[in-house]
Amino acid sequence: MNDSHIRGSFISIEGIEGVGKSTNIRFICEFLNRLGIANIATREPGGTPISEKIRDLLLEVSNKSICPMAELLMMFSGRAQHICEIIEPALASGSWVICDRFTDATYAYQGAGRGLSVDLIQQLEILVQGAIRPDLTLIFDIQTNLGLERANQRGNPDRFEREDIEFFDRARHCYLTIADASPDRCKLIDASQSIGQVQSEIRDLLEQFVASRT
Position among 160, 174, 201, 202 found at the interface with ligand TMP (CB under 6 A) = 160
Spell out the residues 6+ positions from residue 175 whose beta carbon is closer than 8 angstroms to its own: 14, 15, 16, 104, 108, 139, 141
Dist. CA 168–CA 161, nearest whole Å = 9
98 binds ligand TMP (CB under 6 A): no
Q: Which is nearer to ligand TMP, 51 or 199 (CB)?
A: 51
Q: Which residues pair with 12 in a beta bridge?
A: 99, 137
109 binds ligand TMP (CB under 6 A): yes
110 binds ligand TMP (CB under 6 A): yes
Binding mask of the shown chain, residues 1 to 40, with x at each position contacting ligand TMP by CB under 6 A: ----------------x-----------------------
Shortest Å, Cβ 148 to ligand TMP = 11
Position among 106, 137, 144, 199 found at the interface with ligand TMP (CB under 6 A) = 106
For residue 73, give the nearest of 101, 53, 56, 54 by alpha carbon.
54
Dist. CA 24–CA 30, nearest whole Å = 10
Of 32-40, 43-51, 82-90, 129-137: span binding ligand TMP (CB under 6 A): 43-51
Residue 108 contacts residue 14 (beta carbons within 8 Å): yes
Of 99-107, 135-143, 176-184, 196-204: span binding ligand TMP (CB under 6 A): 99-107
Site for ligand TMP (CB under 6 A): how many residues? 12
Rounded to 5°, angle at Cα 42 from 17 and 211: 95
Query: Strand ranges (DSSP E) for the chain?
Result: 10-14, 39-43, 96-100, 136-141, 186-190
Rounded to 5°, angle at Cα 31 from 28 and 32: 90
Of 27-35, 103-111, 180-188, 193-201: span binding ligand TMP (CB under 6 A): 103-111
Which residues contact ligand TMP (rule: CB under 6 A)?
Answer: 17, 43-45, 75, 100-101, 105-106, 109-110, 160
